[in-house]
Structure 1
Amino acid sequence: MNTGDLAWVLISSALVWLMTPGLALFYGGLGEKRNLLHTMFVPVLIIGIATLVWFVVGYSLAFGGSGSVIGNLNHLFMTNVSFTKSTKDLTIPDGAFALFQGMFPIITAAIITGSVIGRVRIKAMIVFITLWLIFIYSPLAHMVWGGGLLAQLGAIDFAGGTVVHISSGVTGLVLALMIGHRHHDKHIPVRPSYVLIGGALLWVGWFGFNSGSALAANGTAVLALVNTWLASAVSVLTWGIAEYKRHGRATLAGITSGGVAGLVAITPAAGFVAPWAAVIMGLVAGFIGFAGITFVKNSFGYDDTLDAFGIHGIGGAVGAILTAVFADKSIGGVAGVINGDVSLLWKQFVAILFTIAFAAIGTFILAKITEFIAAPLRLTASEEAQGYDSILHDLTLE
C-alpha cells in the first residue's frame, strides 16, 4: 500500500461527495421560486439513499465477481472488503476503492432530478432512485469499470462519461417524457448567486472526480486535473460567446453552466488525452452544451426542467466520441483516431448506444414499477401550481 496514493484517493472521495451539495445549490439557483427549497432538498436526500444502497448491495453488484453484465453478492453490506490490502492490483486498499466509487452513484442519481423536479412526487422519486441505483447504475459500473461487457469490448471511460453522464441524462429525459410538460411553467432562475456557489463547489469537486479516478497520486492524476481545468475554462468562454450571439447578452448562470458542460465532456477523456486536446474538447463542449439546452430542446419540444439531458446526456456522448478521436497511446495507453486507430471510435459508439438503450428501457420499466408499488409519478395540476416548498416543507418564498 502507498500512503500518498491512499491520501489522494481519500481526499478525492471527499471532493466528489461535495459535488452533490454543490449540485443542490446549482439546481436551486436555476429552478423555480415555488420549489427552491425542494430542489435543494432532494439531492441532499439522495446522499442518504445512494449511500445506503451502495453499502448494502451496490458495491457488490458493481465490483463483485467477473460476470459480463453484473457482479455478484459476495460483498453485501461490504463484507469481505479489506481495509488494509488490495485484491485489484491497486496501491490502495479495497475499502478506499469502495469509498471513492461510492461517491459516484450519489451525484449520478442527483443529476437525474434536474429533469423533473417540481412535477414528480417525492415518494415516487425515492422508490425510483433506489431501484435505478440497483438495476441501472450498478450494472453499468460493472460493465465499464468492473471488467464487464463494455470493458471487454474495449470501450474506455476514464471517470464516467457513460456510467454517470449519459445514463443520468437519458434517464432524466425519459422521465420527463413520461411525466409530461409542466402545467404551470414559472421557470425563471431565482438565485444566480446560488448557481455560482453551487457551480464552484461542483467544479472543485470535479477535480477530485476526474483526477481521483487515477486511483493514485501519479502523473495520470496530474494530467487528468490539468485537462479538467483547461476544458472547463475554455467551455466557459465558448458558452458565453454562443449565449451572447443568440440572446445579445451573456449571463452568470449561463457561463457557469458552460463550465459544467466542459467538465462533463472531459470526464471520459481526462486521463487519455493531451492538454491540447482538452482545450479543443472544451471549445466544442461550450457550443454543444448551449445548443443542447436551446436548439435541441426547442426543436423536439421536451420539458427537461434544469437541462440534465442537454448538458449531461448530450455532453457525455460528445465527450465519449471525442475521447475516441483524441486518445493518445503514449499518454493513456489507448490509441485513438489521432494515432491512426479508428477502431476505438466504433467501440465508443457501441458503448454510447448501449448505454442509451440500457438506461432508457430500464428507466421506462422501473418508472412503471414505481407507479405500481408506490404512487403516481406526477403531481396533480393544483399541487404543482402550489409548489413543493409549500406542500412538503411548509415554506413559501415571497
Structure 2
Amino acid sequence: MNGADTAWIITATALVLLMTLPGLAMFYGGLVRARNVLSIFMQCFSIAALMSVLWLLLGYSIAFGDANPYWGGLGKFGLIGITGDDLWNTIPEILFFAFQMTFAIITPALFIGAFVERINYAFVMVFAGAWMLLVYAPVTHWIWGGGMMADGGIFGAVGTKDFAGGIVVHETAALAALLLAIMIGPRKHRTTPPHNPGMVAIGAGLLWVGWFGFNGGSQLAADGGAAMALTVTHISASAASLSWAFWERVKFGRSSLVGIVTGTIAGLASITPASGFVGPLEALVIGLVAGILCQEAVVLIREKIGIDDTLDVFAVHGVGGIFGTIMVAVFADGTFIAQFGALAIVGIYTLVLTYVLAKAIGLFFPMRVDKESETNGLDLSTHGERAYDMNS
C-alpha cells in the first residue's frame, strides 16, 4: 500500500462525487423551468443513493470480478471477504470500490438531462438501477475490468484505450439519453429558457473542479501521469469554452453564459478518454475542436432532426466522448480498429438493452407523467414541494 496514492484517490473519490452532488444537480437544475428544479435535485440525490447500494451488492462484482471476459460474476457480492488490507495495485481495494462507485453514480445521472420536465420519478429510479447493472457494469468489465476489450482481448495486444470513460461513461449514458428522449417524446414547451443561468454556471464550475478527480484519479496513483491527466483536462476545458463562445459570436453576434459553460463540459467530456495518453498541445486541439463540434451537434439534434434531448446530453457528452475516443487513435498509442470497434459494440449493446429495459419497465411504471402534472411542474405534482416561495 502506498500512502500518497491512497491519499490522492481518497481525494479524487470525493471530487467525483462532487460532480453529481451538487455539480450536475445544479447544472441541470438551472437549465429547466423553475417548477421542475427540485425534481432534478431529487433524481440526482436518489440515483446517488440507489447506485451506491446496488454497486455494493452487485455492480462492483459484475464490473471487476474475474469470472470471464464478458461478465465479472458475483464473486465479490456485497464485498464479502474484502477488508481494508486487501489491495488493488497500490491502494486498498475498498478505496478502489468507492472510487469506481462514484462513476457508477454519475453515469446514469447524466442521462436524466434528456427527459427532464416530463419523466415519471418511479420509472427513472427503476430504469436507472437496472441500466447500471445490465449496461454500465458489464461495459465497465469489458474495458476496465480486464474483460474482452482490454489488452490481449478481441482487439489483440493493444486493447481499447479509454482512460476515464469516453466509452464507459459518456457513450453509454448519451446513447441511452438519446433513445429515451425519442421514446418519451418532446416536451409541451420546448423553447422555455433556463430559469437560472447563474445556477448553471455554478454547477458547471463544480463539474470542472470535480473532473480533476474523474480524470486525474483514473491514474490510480499520485504521480506524473495523474498530474498530466489533470493538466490536459484543464487545458481542453478552457479551449472548448473559448471556441464555443467564439463560434456563438460568429453565428449570432453574441456569446452567452450558458453557451460558454456548455463548451466547458464539451471539452471535459472530449478529453476524458484521452487524458492519460495525450499532452497539453494535443489537449488544446481536442478542446478547440470539441467546442465547435459539440455546438453544431446541438443544432443538428435539436433543430434539424427535432429530437427533444432537453439538456443536450448526446450532443455534448456523446459526441464529445466519441470524438475523444477517436482522438486516442490519432494522437496516442490506440488503434483505430480497437477504438472504433469498441464504440460500435458498446453502442449497439447500449441501444438494444436500453430499449428492452425501457419497454419492460414501462409496462409497470409509465415513462411519462400526465399532461396536468407536466403543465404544473414535477416539483409540486410529484414531490409536493416548490423550489421558490414567492410570498416570503
Shorter-chain TM range is over 0.9
Counterpart of 2:15 in structure 1 is 15
1:160 is aligned to 2:165: yes
Counterpart of 1:354 in structure 2 is 345
> Which of 201, 204, 219 is the matching residue for 1:214?
219
Q: Aligned partners of 2:228 and 2:136: how far apart in 1?
A: 27
Q: C-alpha root-mean-square deviation of aligned residues, in Å?
A: 1.2
Counterpart of 1:258 in structure 2 is 263
Q: Aligned partners of 1:309 and 1:71: how far apart in 2?
A: 28
Q: Aligned partners of 2:385 and 2:113: how far apart in 1?
A: 21
Counterpart of 1:241 in structure 2 is 246
Alpha-carbon displacement from aligned partner over 1:152-187 (angstroms, at most 9, x marks no partner): 221110000001000000000010111111123353
1:388 is aligned to 2:389: no
Match runs of 1:42-121 below 5 Å: 42-86=43-87, 88=88, 90-121=89-120
Q: 1:292: Cα distance to partner?
A: 1.5
1:183 is aligned to 2:152: no
Alpha-carbon displacement from aligned partner over 1:119-148 (angstroms, at most 9, x marks no partner): 110001110001001100100100010011
Please say if residues 66 and 146 of structure 1, whose CA atoms lie closer than 8 Å, have aligned partners that are also in contact: no
SS at match of 1:150: coil
The residue type equivalent to 1:113 in the other structure is: I
Q: 1:367: Cα distance to partner?
A: 0.3
Counterpart of 2:316 in structure 1 is 311
Q: 1:370: Cα distance to partner?
A: 0.7
Q: Aligned partners of 1:32 and 1:67: how far apart in 2?
A: 47
Alpha-carbon displacement from aligned partner over 1:246-289 (angstroms, at most 9, x marks no partner): 22211111101111100000000001012110110001110111
Please say if residues 32 and 186 of structure 1, whose CA atoms lie closer than 8 Å, have aligned partners that are also in contact: no
Counterpart of 1:276 in structure 2 is 281
Please say if residues 301 and 307 of structure 2, whose CA atoms lie closer than 8 Å, have aligned partners that are also in contact: no
Q: 1:295: Cα distance to partner?
A: 2.9
Q: 1:36: Cα distance to partner?
A: 1.4
Q: Aligned partners of 1:66 and 1:265: how far apart in 2?
A: 32
The residue type equivalent to 1:379 in the other structure is: V
Q: 1:55: Cα distance to partner?
A: 0.7
Counterpart of 2:5 in structure 1 is 5
Alpha-carbon displacement from aligned partner over 1:341-379 (angstroms, at most 9, x marks no partner): xxx01210111111211111110000011112x311111
Percent of counterpart pairs with the same letter?
Answer: 41
The residue type equivalent to 1:112 in the other structure is: F
Counterpart of 2:358 in structure 1 is 367
Counterpart of 1:330 in structure 2 is none
The residue type equivalent to 1:32 in the other structure is: R
Q: Aligned partners of 2:243 and 2:161: how far apart in 1?
A: 27
Alpha-carbon displacement from aligned partner over 1:180-210 (angstroms, at most 9, x marks no partner): 1112335310111101111111111000000
SS at match of 1:273: coil
**TM-score, length of structure 1 as denominator length:** 0.93
Please say if residues 121 and 382 of structure 2, whose CA atoms lie closer than 8 Å, have aligned partners that are also in contact: no
Please say if residues 248 and 254 of structure 2, whose CA atoms lie closer than 8 Å, have aligned partners that are also in contact: yes
**Runs of 5+ in structure 2 lacking a partner?**
none
Counterpart of 1:341 in structure 2 is none
Q: 1:392: Cα distance to partner?
A: 2.2
1:194 is aligned to 2:199: yes
Q: Aligned partners of 1:165 and 1:147: how far apart in 2?
A: 20
1:137 is aligned to 2:173: no
Q: Aligned partners of 2:251 and 2:53: how far apart in 1?
A: 44
Counterpart of 1:340 in structure 2 is none
**TM-score, length of structure 2 as denominator length:** 0.95
Alpha-carbon displacement from aligned partner over 1:58-114 (angstroms, at most 9, x marks no partner): 00000011412210101111112232132x4x1112111111111101111110100
Please say if residues 190 and 308 of structure 2, whose CA atoms lie closer than 8 Å, have aligned partners that are also in contact: no
Q: 1:16: Cα distance to partner?
A: 0.3
Counterpart of 2:40 in structure 1 is 39
Larger mean Cα displacement after TM superposition, 66-75 or 387-396: 387-396
The residue type equivalent to 1:53 in the other structure is: L
Alpha-carbon displacement from aligned partner over 1:41-61 (angstroms, at most 9, x marks no partner): 211111101101101110000
SS at match of 1:149: coil
Q: Aligned partners of 1:19 and 1:7: how far apart in 2?
A: 19
**Runs of 5+ in structure 1 lacking a partner?**
328-334, 337-343
Larger mean Cα displacement after TM superposition, 374-383 or 98-107: 374-383
The residue type equivalent to 2:106 in the other structure is: I
Please say if residues 66 and 148 of structure 1, whose CA atoms lie closer than 8 Å, have aligned partners that are also in contact: no
Q: Aligned partners of 2:369 and 2:358: how far apart in 1?
A: 15
Aligned length: 381
Structure 1 residue runs of 4 or more that deviate by more than 6 Å after TM superposition:
none
The residue type equivalent to 1:103 in the other structure is: T
Q: Aligned partners of 1:149 and 1:297: how far apart in 2?
A: 35
Please say if residues 246 and 255 of structure 2, whose CA atoms lie closer than 8 Å, have aligned partners that are also in contact: yes
